[in-house]
Amino acid sequence: MNRDHQETGRRAESCVYLDYAATTPVAPQVAEAMSRCLGREGLFGNAASRPHRFGVEARTAVERARGQVAELIAADPAEIVWTSGATESINLAVKGAARGACGRGRHIVTSSMEHKAVLDSCVRLVQEGFEVTFVDPDFDGTITPESIERALRRDTILVSLMHVNNEVGTVTDIPAVGRLVREHGIVFHVDASQSAARLPLDVRQMRADLVSLSGHKMYGPKGVGALYARSSCPSPLEPQMHGGDQEQGLRSGTLATHQAVGMGKAAELARERLDKDAEATAALDRRLRDLLEEIPRSFLNGNQRIRVPGILSAGFACIDSEALLMALRDEVAISSGSACTSDRVEPSHVLNALRLSEKAIACSVRFSLGRYTTADEVGFAATRLSETIADLRQLSPGWAEEAMSGPQPRAQEPRWATA
Ligand SMILES: *Cc1c(COP(=O)(O)O)cnc(C)c1O
């Protein structure tokens, strides 16, 4: 057994975890750093308490962690606001920036393939009288800077885009969008939840005013996140949480020392291991992709050339993704659409935004690999997947007919899927 698996306390042979885009396990180094904060001997003081040493110790730990998060994205520590997760960071960024800038205009630009936290924050703002343009990606899941530029208006106050899409893994050219957004003095928010442990991040190069991060998508704990808020952001952020005026008044509430320390340590590890992790994941991703392509009548969703390694969406003709997930549930953990909507079992809004047919969406699943994924796991998952698909197809009335219709073009841009 692989050492990393022993450290994370999970038996690899029992169920292979390929759902890193839904959440990542807490890295052992992170768990250790967090546990040092807990208990009577830990850093239990309130970071806002002064001048006693309990408060000072907690504050020192939280500030050190803030520095680690800042360093991951090349920001100044004073520009990092602790939150409870990317959902809260996004709410503060989108609603806070819109409400803070409403004197200058009421128009917002985002895309139809954003996370629900962005989409639903925008829907809320529409109810308050804001106007939102939801830009559709191309069929391959790319958002071009040109499509954003076309959507800008004289009264646009905010542009909000994700860096890496959590379902198909496509990467948006954030620096290019940032350049044109800044030229117009518009606030630019980037949801970097999926890119933080996968791609190098530099907020200046991105020309972002606001960047949302999530602890549990980068091997830190759940329930903590951060918002980068540029010191010279064109308009003030309206706080969403009121109380003790912590975090420069932007986010009241006693800081969770262990959570901040955990996210800080996770950020430090992500930075140290970025190249190594990215390289290993890229190799496993290529392997998985090759194995998936051997499965008859399979197709990949989204542009494969601008996809981040480790997030891969694939479909299999005549397979109901829910049935596939169910058949594999004790052996391989994958997901259909995004985890946040899978309990409602509605077609993925992201695949919908790519204009995939209902049929193609219903047979699509997402594989997401990460730091602890091994070649054995990928091999095992692909084998069991292939066998299970063959079994399910035997039971599918449509399959015989489908198989008779001859080979389909290898579907990078699945012709029958988007038709
Ligand atoms: C997971 C995720 C979020 C939400 O993050 P939480 O920390 O779970 O609130 C937002 N955006 C993207 C792209 C995500 O993948």
Q: Tell me the per-residue pLDDT of 98-125, one tens digit each, with 9 for 90 and over.
A: 999 989 999 999 999 999 999 999 999 9
Residue 91 CA to ligand 1 center (angstroms) comes to: 11
With a 6 Å cutoff on the Cβ, whether 225 touches ligand 1 is: yes
Q: Are the C-beta atoms of residues 251 and 82 closer than 8 Å to each other?
A: yes
Read off the pTM.
0.93
Mean pLDDT of the 230-253 span: 93
Q: Tell me the per-residue pLDDT of 64-105, one tens digit each, with 9 for 90 and over.
A: 999 999 999 999 999 999 999 999 999 999 999 999 998 999
Residue 227 CA to ligand 1 center (angstroms) comes to: 12
With a 6 Å cutoff on the Cβ, whether 162 touches ligand 1 is: yes
Residue 410 CA to ligand 1 center (angstroms) comes to: 32
With a 6 Å cutoff on the Cβ, whether 96 touches ligand 1 is: no
According to DSSP, the residues that pair with 83 across neighbouring strands are 225
The lowest-confidence range among 102-116, 251-265, 342-356 is 342-356
Structure-token match 């920001």, residue found: 75
Q: Identify the pLDDT of residue 396.
A: 86
For the chain, give the percent of residues with pLDDT over 70. 91
With a 6 Å cutoff on the Cβ, whether 193 touches ligand 1 is: yes
Whether 340 is catalytic is yes
Mean pLDDT of the 286-293 span: 97
Distance, CA of 321 to chain centre = 21
Q: Which residue among 168, 198, 214 has the greatest number of ligand 1 atoms within 8 angstroms of its CB, and so is best to mutate?
A: 214
Catalytic residue among 15, 37, 122, 340: 340
With a 6 Å cutoff on the Cβ, whether 195 touches ligand 1 is: no
Question: Average pLDDT of the chain?
Answer: 92
Q: How confident is the model at residue 10 (pLDDT cuts 50, 70, 90)?
A: very low
With a 6 Å cutoff on the Cβ, whether 265 touches ligand 1 is: no
Residue 206 CA to ligand 1 center (angstroms) comes to: 19
Distance of alpha carbon 418 from alpha carbon 143, whole angstroms: 18
Segment 393-400 long-range contacts (CB within 8 Å, at least 24 positions apart): 393/318, 393/319, 396/318, 396/319, 398/318, 399/317, 399/318
